[in-house]
Amino acid sequence: MNSKLTVYEAPGSTGQRNDDAARFHSSVERLAEAGIDVRCITCRRPSDMDTRGEAWETLSSEGLGSLPLAEYDGVLISSGRYPSDQELADFLSPPDGTLSVDSSKPYPMGNNSEQSCHMSPR
């Protein structure tokens, strides 16, 4: 399974035990158990990145201090911190109960309520 979420970390981050790193790595383990892959790549320089998306641009311009960087399908979703469980849930749509929060539900549409935009047939 190809992951659309990649997190670029500073060297030694996987062994880091600050609250945010510990929470994130625990969440990644729970996602893996649910069959959802999150790639974590250690970066010492921009050339360690395997793509040239927004994370690469950020690391190239701001340096290692911008790590960790989370990129979903080439779009930067967090910089200088690990993605929250809510961000992981919203982007990856794991089964409810996998993370500390469930995916945010979209605003209900087509539920017999008047919609704000009406299109008349031609």
CATH match of 5-92 with 3.40.30.10: yes
Handedness of CA 40, 45, 50, 53 (dihedral sign): positive
**Would you list the domain boundaries of the chain?**
5-92
**Residues 8, 67 contacting (CB under 8 angstroms):** yes
What is residue 105's predicted lDDT score, i.e. its pLDDT? Answer: 60
**Residues 85, 27 contacting (CB under 8 angstroms):** yes
- Dihedral (C-alpha) 85, 90, 95, 100: value to the nearest 10 degrees? 20
Full-model pTM: 0.77
Summarised one tens digit per residue, pLDDT across range 42-96 is: 998 888 887 788 999 999 999 999 999 999 998 999 999 999 999 999 999 999 9
Handedness of CA 111, 113, 114, 115 (dihedral sign): negative
